[in-house]
Amino acid sequence: MNYWRHKAEDLVMDESFQQYCMGTNPAAIRFWEQWQAAHPEKRDLVQTAKVMYLCLNGGLDADVFAAHHRKFTEALFARGIRPGMQERKIQAVKQNGWKWYALAVAATLTGLVLTMIWMRKDVPATESNMPVYASKAGERKSFQLPDGSKVVLNAASTLRLEPGFHNGKRELTLEGEAFFDIAQDVSAPFVIHTEDMDITVLGTAFNVKAYKDDQTVETALIRGRVRVDMPAGQQIYLQPKEKLVIARQTESSDIQPLQPQRADMRKAPGGYAIDSLTHIPQDSAIVELSWVDNRLIFADESFGDIARKLERWYGVQIRFETETLRGYHFTGHFNKETLHRVLEVMQLSRPFGFRFENDHTVVLHQ
């Protein structure tokens, strides 16, 4: 399709452009990035259309947005409005009915966007109307935030934009794990809040792992520079290829003692260690980021930690019949393998048994 003559309203209604804005289709993302590179004079138009779409979309995922679109169409049909219809009074103007319909929708979109922009200036954002991005167990999502920052959300995770994000105050709250590639904006620092730390960046790529049921939380820096503020008052600055590991204090029976190499961390809130990122010698893969490429990797990790990772990865529940199994350590590298196959390979390293009680429950035993 030739997009040269398209206006912002036309782009908003294009399915490929919508997928580009939402970050749900790699082919669409690649096409629109290449199209802008080939037509730099159209970048402002594309960005204007993107802002319009994001305002209309409000951070909804594709399924919810499609449902809303169906309701909108059904409401039009209920009022007797169909594509191709024209006002009977307008006899002198002869034009294709679908073009008339498209112009009407475009005008409606423009008016709605202007109304929303005006409302944003006067009505403060609240927690209830800010976008929330969420993934279920066994599901990973990639998308782009309104400021252009790219995010990959790992399984069983939630990312909530804080009030004011659209107005230059780039703050959000994460529960779970996400990889961020931040759009640089010196005037508006990017701040991620978790239960155990706040991370401030200006423009960088990094990973944050902050699941509530893990014994540690981690920040792994790929490029740039970040500052981590912890409740106890410590301020830590990370350099590229470093990760910060913070120990948690919990009474949960699912949380095992810290591994020996982390013994220098106090087993209390605020205890931490700075490590290098973990690389796999065979292909230089970074363990902390392997999930972004849909690769399941663990390096000398306890079975208890691995079980939690497998639960999120495959959307199952894992139960230990024998507690000693939790202390077993494994190293493994898997690419698109089934859970059954992963467990079979692990059995080659240490003896244990497993059985599937149903599609969602796995029992581990000796």
| 146 and 247 assigned to the same domain | yes
Per-residue tokens: 39: 């037509």
Indicate whether 194 belongs to any domain: yes
The domain boundary, picked from 123, 147, 169, lies at 123
| 198 and 298 assigned to the same domain | no
Compute CA 50 distance to the chain's CA centroid, rounded to the nearest angstrom. 19
> Would you list the DSSP string of 317-342?
EEEESSGGGGG-EEEEEEES--HHHH
Indicate whether 281 belongs to any domain: no
Kindly give, in sequence order, each residue whose CB lies less than 8 Å from that of residue 352, ignoring residues fewer than 6 positions away.
303, 325, 328, 346, 364, 365, 366
Please say if the pLDDT value at position 267 is more than 60: no
| 186 and 318 assigned to the same domain | no
| 37 and 102 assigned to the same domain | yes
Indicate whether 360 belongs to any domain: yes
Indicate whether 1 belongs to any domain: no
Indicate whether 3 belongs to any domain: no
Q: Decide which of 185 and 85 is more confident.
A: 185
Q: List helix spans (H) across 89-138.
A: 97-122
* Residue of 345, 258, 331 whose CA lies nearest to 297: 331
| 93 and 147 assigned to the same domain | no
- Burial of residue 135 (number of CB atoms within 10 Å: 0-12, 13-18, 19+): buried
| 157 and 242 assigned to the same domain | yes
Give the per-residue pLDDT at 81. 61
Compute CA 249 distance to the chain's CA centroid, rounded to the nearest angstrom. 27
Q: Are 85 and 97 in contact (CB under 8 A)?
A: yes
Per-residue tokens: 336: 């698109």
* Residue of 98, 78, 101, 3 whose CA lies nearest to 43: 3
Give the per-residue pLDDT at 63. 55
CA dist., res. 178 & res. 149, Å (int): 12
Q: Decide which of 284 and 328 is more confident.
A: 328
Indicate whether 354 belongs to any domain: yes
CA dist., res. 182 & res. 144, Å (int): 10
Please say if the pLDDT value at position 258 is more than 60: no
Indicate whether 358 belongs to any domain: yes
Q: Looking at residue 326, which CATH number applies to its domain? A: 3.55.50.30
The domain boundary, picked from 94, 123, 152, lies at 123
Q: Which sign does the torsion angle of CA 146, 149, 155, 157 carry?
A: negative
Query: What is the domain extent for residue 352?
Result: 294-365
Indicate whether 282 belongs to any domain: no
Q: What is the pLDDT of residues 64-85, one digit of tens each?
A: 555 555 666 666 666 666 544 4
- Beta strand 226-229 with 141-144 is unpaired
Q: Which sign does the torsion angle of CA 70, 73, 79, 80 carry?
A: negative
CA dist., res. 213 & res. 311, Å (int): 12
Confidence of residue 184 (pLDDT cuts 50, 70, 90): confident
**Per-residue CA distances from 142 to 16, 145, 155, 156 (Å):** 16, 10, 11, 14
Q: Is the pTM of this model over 0.75?
A: no
**Cα end-to-end distance, the chain, whole Å:** 61
Question: E strands of the chain, at which residues?
Answer: 132-135, 141-144, 150-153, 157-161, 171-181, 190-193, 198-201, 205-210, 216-223, 226-229, 235-238, 242-247, 272-276, 295-302, 317-320, 329-335, 353-358, 361-365
CA dist., res. 85 & res. 10, Å (int): 19
| 146 and 106 assigned to the same domain | no
| 348 and 302 assigned to the same domain | yes
CA dist., res. 339 & res. 325, Å (int): 18
Per-residue tokens: 233: 């008052």
Q: Is 86 left (phi over 0), alpha (psi -120 to 50) or beta?
A: beta
Please say if the pLDDT value at position 89 is more than 90: no
| 270 and 157 assigned to the same domain | yes
Give the per-residue pLDDT at 193. 95
| 137 and 79 assigned to the same domain | no
Percent of the chain with pLDDT over 90: 34
CA dist., res. 223 & res. 205, Å (int): 5
Question: E strands of 264-366, at which residues?
Answer: 272-276, 295-302, 317-320, 329-335, 353-358, 361-365
Which one-letter DSSP state was computed for residue 301? E
CA dist., res. 242 & res. 224, Å (int): 11
Which one-letter DSSP state was computed for residue 279? B
Domains contained in the chain, number: 3
Give the per-residue pLDDT at 125. 44
Q: What is the pLDDT of residues 211-234, one digit of tens each?
A: 998 888 999 999 898 999 988 888
Please say if the pLDDT value at position 294 is more than 70: yes
| 73 and 186 assigned to the same domain | no
| 112 and 143 assigned to the same domain | no
Please say if the pLDDT value at position 321 is more than 90: yes
Q: Decide which of 222 and 282 is more confident.
A: 222
The domain boundary, picked from 276, 305, 329, lies at 276
Q: Looking at residue 246, which CATH number applies to its domain? A: 2.60.120.1440
